[in-house]
Amino acid sequence: MTRLSELTTIRVGGEPGKLLFADTKEELVTFAKQVWADTDKWLILGCGSNVVASDDLSDYQVVLVETKGISVEGGLVTVQAGEIWGSFVDLANQNGWAGIESLAGIPGTVGASPIQNIGAYGQEVSSVIESVEFLDYELGEVIVLDNEFCGFGYRDSVFKRGRVGVVLSVTFRFGKADPAELISRSEEVVALRRSKGMVLDKSDHDTWSCGSFFMNPIVSESFARTLPLDAPQWEVGDQVKLSAAWLIEQAGLSKGYALPGSKAAISTKHALAITNRGGATSKEVVELARYIQETVANRFGVSLVPEPNLIGIS
């Protein structure tokens, strides 16, 4: 029997009541409709790199997305949801398809990339997504959503804000660039990410995580002025983005911090990642996350919002 701790990068989560492996698009559609008909406790799972699942998932039904296939037509590249993101970035670089080279090293599937509009080092996947093929839960049918209907924002999309369903494939429109330059940019980014424990490595507990656990908070300019002068800030329209990592460390929670006796800890390389030091439970991860939120709220009056999807956890 498979536990979600075996299918997620933070390696926590119990055994689901049902686990279905979808290898083809037809299976993905059939299984999704099947679980939707059965229960409201279901999960569509890619590589599990942005999920924290409860230790008790016995009443959950999980569909694992393993669909493969990449086609190129008329300047557009269509990729099935279960393709691995990192391998796709390599392929794009080799073909001189520009626009995702800085997103190298992010774990996960292509199908999950629009969900939170993955981003890093100045790039977001939304800038090259043409459209998303989507099995819509409400409509019960497959539709194609053009980029403008995906409501992309910072780590955000309509898929995170209540448009429920399954991404079946993603179609990209890339720019053109010299493959050597794209490959070199990816290598540079991956080296940087590795130094922060942001590239999966099973021998390094700092990477047993969901990447960043909290989003960088966006606050009003007037609120930002109440913070210490050295607090990193970036303008976003008429608002200000803060560094969640800075807030956590300045609130007194340093890298490596763990609650007494807990096997969940802040990464020793990056204050924004909660990591499993081996054998941690979902409960321990959530307790640490809550403690960080309370400590930052008490010190700075800022609410940190978790980035990963919490499954079976209130």
Rounded CA-CA distance 63/219 in Å is 37
One residue of 57, 100, 104, 106 binding ligand FAD per CB under 6 A: 106
Closest distance to ligand FAD from the beta carbon of 300 (Å)? 24
Backbone angles phi, psi at 301, to 5 degrees: 70, 25
Burial (Cβ within 10 Å: 0-12, 13-18, ≥19) of residue 30: middle
| 309 is an interface residue for ligand FAD by CB under 6 A | yes
* Residue closer to ligand FAD, measured from CB, 127 or 295: 127
Indicate if 212 belongs to the active site.
yes
* Residue closer to ligand FAD, measured from CB, 77 or 200: 200
Indicate if 6 belongs to the active site.
no
One DSSP character per residue, 269-293 reads S-TT-EEE-SS--HHHHHHHHHHHH
Q: From the candidates 11, 155, 185, 193, give the one annotated as an active-site residue.
A: 155
Q: From the candidates 15, 130, 287, 307, give the one annotated as an active-site residue.
A: 307
| 280 is an interface residue for ligand FAD by CB under 6 A | no
Closest distance to ligand FAD from the beta carbon of 220 (Å)? 25
* Residue 72: Cβ within 10 Å count: 12
Do the Cβ atoms of 217 and 227 come closer than 8 Å?
no
Cβ neighbors of 40 (< 8 A, separation 6 or more) are none
Size of the site for ligand FAD (CB under 6 A): 33
One residue of 19, 112, 247, 286 binding ligand FAD per CB under 6 A: 112
Rounded CA-CA distance 261/136 in Å is 44
Closest distance to ligand FAD from the beta carbon of 43 (Å)? 5
Cβ neighbors of 101 (< 8 A, separation 6 or more) are 89, 92, 93, 123, 177, 182, 183, 185, 186, 189
Render the burial of 234-261: b for 16+ CB within 10 Å, e for the rest: eeeeeebbbbbbbbbbbbebebebbeee
Binding mask 156-195 for ligand FAD (x = CB under 6 A): ----------xx----------------------------
Task: Kindly compute the dihedral angle of the four CA atoms of residues 100, 167, 106, 9, in this order, to the nearest 10 degrees.
Answer: 180
| 80 is an interface residue for ligand FAD by CB under 6 A | no
One residue of 20, 104, 158, 210 binding ligand FAD per CB under 6 A: 210
Rounded CA-CA distance 107/50 in Å is 9
One residue of 22, 200, 247, 274 binding ligand FAD per CB under 6 A: 200
Cβ neighbors of 282 (< 8 A, separation 6 or more) are 12, 13, 14, 52, 53, 54, 55, 313
Q: How would you classify the pairing of strands 309-311 and 51-53?
A: parallel
One residue of 107, 217, 306, 312 binding ligand FAD per CB under 6 A: 107
Contact region with ligand FAD (CB under 6 A), list: 104-112, 173-181, 258-266, 287-295: 104-112
Closest distance to ligand FAD from the beta carbon of 249 (Å)? 19
Indicate if 148 belongs to the active site.
no
| 50 is an interface residue for ligand FAD by CB under 6 A | yes
| 198 is an interface residue for ligand FAD by CB under 6 A | yes
* Residue closer to ligand FAD, measured from CB, 29 or 231: 29
Binding site for ligand FAD (CB under 6 A): 9, 43-51, 65, 81, 106-109, 111-113, 115-116, 118-120, 166-167, 198, 200, 207, 209-211, 309
Q: Active-site positions?
A: 155, 212, 307
